[in-house]
Amino acid sequence: MLGRAEALARFGWLAEVRWRDVAEQFPVRLPRGYLAGANVASDPRLLTALPADAELDFHPGDIPDPVGEQARSPLPWVVQKHRDRVLLLLTKRCHVYCRFCFRRDHEPGAGEDPSADEWAAMLDYAKHSGAEEVILSGGDPLAIPDARLFAAMDGLRPEIPIVRVHTRAPITFPSRITPRLVAGLRERAPVWLFVHVNHPSELTVEVDAALARLVDAGIPVLNQTVLLRGINNDVDTLVALSRALVARRVFPYYLHHPDAVPGNAHFRVSIAEGQALYTSLRGRVSGLALPTYVIDPPDGSGKHPVPLLSPG
């Protein structure tokens, strides 16, 4: 991993960035392969992964807990917003720390993984929660070893039949999608895998191969995109992304309105801009390629579709 700004300086990015102050707020981490072939001046992969001074700016719209998880967390590492679903945070680690992320709680000295007791309590709560689905998230659940991931899945069955794995690893660290991982996921079906692609440039040859390994094994793959200023807030990019995903047998599931976490204001768009973009997108792609535009409000009630603009 490239975790030090000195290692990134060779890309001509951090000369003017107060990277030490930024990294104290939210660490910087990138796998070396993620930088391969990237044009640091404009590549969306790096615009969302490398630090910026704007992360240090206060914005009046900032919300420390923008999707209301704290009030819906009955135990550490557990979030339950809905009776039939429970979300487990298997780790705080990711292969890439996306700069727009709403989970930025990497306080100095804070543990990045649950303790043994927290892990056991987390699984026990989920099994007795009455949920029909479990969402394995983080951080990135594929930042932990296969054995630990599979142990979590096996420990939740048969009480929770449907397992969802929400991960960026096929995109940010595609070599993580090994034959052993794919076989283990397939053996534990039904498993649904949710990835996170924000721009067509992220769909490299290596990413394509990782996604194909999953889909060819019969593992359903769905995508969640965040609407981000300067990255994908134009309809041509959104159209190209939706079509590229469908061509790779990945369903464009959600288009997320950006969460108002402190440090990401430079990525945010307004609801009105998002509505206009989504209306244009609807007119240019089929239903198969059309994600649902949603917002996750700070009251902890979960995702809601954003109202469409009225015709005319």
- Is there a contact between 125 and 74 (Cβ–Cβ < 8 Å)? yes
Can you give the pLDDT at residue 103? 87
Can you give the pLDDT at residue 259? 95
- Report, as an integer, the average pLDDT of 130-159: 97
Strand order through the sheet with 85-89 = 78-82, 85-89, 133-137, 162-166, 191-195, 221-226, 251-256, 292-295, 304-305
Separation CA 185–CA 154 (nearest Å)? 11
- Report, as an integer, the average pLDDT of 105-132: 85
Q: 214 or 44: whose pLDDT is higher?
A: 214
Q: C-alpha angle with apex 26: 241 to 100, nearest 5 degrees? A: 25
Can you give the pLDDT at residue 311? 60
Q: What sign for the dihedral angle of Cα 92, 53, 294, 240?
A: negative
Can you give the pLDDT at residue 312? 53
Can you give the pLDDT at residue 144? 97
Which secondary structure element, helix H or strand E, spans residue 5, and what is its range? helix 5-9
Q: What is the three-class DSSP state of 202?
A: helix
Mean predicted lDDT score pLDDT of the chain: 91
pLDDT above 50 (res 109): no
Average the pLDDT over each of 56-65, 125-134, 244-253, 286-295 and give the range with the smallest value. Answer: 56-65
Phi, psi of 63, deg, nearest 5: -130, 115
**Gyration radius of the chain over CA positions:** 19
Question: Phi/psi class of residue 218: alpha, beta or left (left: φ > 0; alpha: ψ in -120 to 50)?
Answer: left
Separation CA 108–CA 111 (nearest Å)? 9
- Sheet strands (E) in the chain: 78-82, 85-89, 133-137, 162-166, 191-195, 221-226, 251-256, 292-295, 304-305
Phi, psi of 3, deg, nearest 5: -110, 0
Can you give the pLDDT at residue 2? 45
Separation CA 17–CA 13 (nearest Å)? 8
pLDDT above 70 (res 310): no
Q: Where residue 53 falls among pLDDT bands split at 50, 70, 90?
A: confident
Please report the domains of the chain, with CATH numbers, ordered by start residue: 64-305 (3.20.20.70)
Residue in the block written with tokens 């660290």: 173
Query: pLDDT tens digits for 167-221?
Result: 999 999 999 999 999 999 999 999 999 999 999 999 999 999 999 999 999 999 9
Q: What percent of the chain has pLDDT over 90?
A: 77
- Sheet strands (E) in 58-186: 78-82, 85-89, 133-137, 162-166
Q: What percent of the chain has pLDDT over 70?
A: 90
DSSP 8-state code for residue 252: E
Can you give the pLDDT at residue 211? 98
Is the bond leading into 190 cis (omega within 30 degrees of zero)? yes
